[in-house]
Amino acid sequence: MKADARHITILFAVTALLAFLLSLIPPVAQRIDARQTARVERRLVKKQRQMERYVRQVQDMPVDQWILLPGFPDDMVLYRYNADTLQSWVNEFSISNDEVDVAPLWYRLHFMSNDNLYNTPLAYITEEDNYVNLGLSWYVVKA
């Protein structure tokens, strides 16, 4: 009887040790996710550089001239403001209020539907890259 109990104890200890060792091996899904993350990061950096080239082109244009950028990608949006007034744009966000100078205190506290006139998401954009949810999509935005 004692021998059986000792064998069962050894069997449980070996099983626990095997389970512990197997837990140290990263799952395949994590390795795939890391590769996908690196791929997305490279694409995002490439897109940011592309957008910076377009922004430099727009900065060289006269302020009263409409933005014309042939071949501008459909998955990018460029707004040009003169002071606080939207002067011209290429593509557009799915928002109903494009104010940049009014940032109400309650913006982050209310339901952010696209048809809410007090929703001013562009007023919170800074000169740093930020991830912003506008409607059903996430965007990388920068002032």
4-24 per-position pLDDT tens digit: 878 889 999 999 999 998 888
pTM above 0.85, yes or no: no
Band (98; pLDDT cuts 50, 70, 90): low
Mean pLDDT, residues 100-106: 52
Biggest CA pair distance of the chain: 95
Contact 86, 98 (CB under 8 A): yes
Mean pLDDT, residues 79-93: 81
pLDDT at 109 over 50: no
Amino acid type, 86: L
Mean pLDDT, residues 94-100: 56
Q: What does the DSSP 8-state code read for residue 26?
A: P
Token pair belonging to 95: 């928002």
State how far the alpha carbon of 85 is from the alpha carbons of 36, 78, 122, 137, in Å: 40, 14, 12, 25
- Express each pLDDT in 34-63 by its tens digit: 788 899 899 999 999 999 999 999 999 998
Helix, coil or strand: residue 56: helix
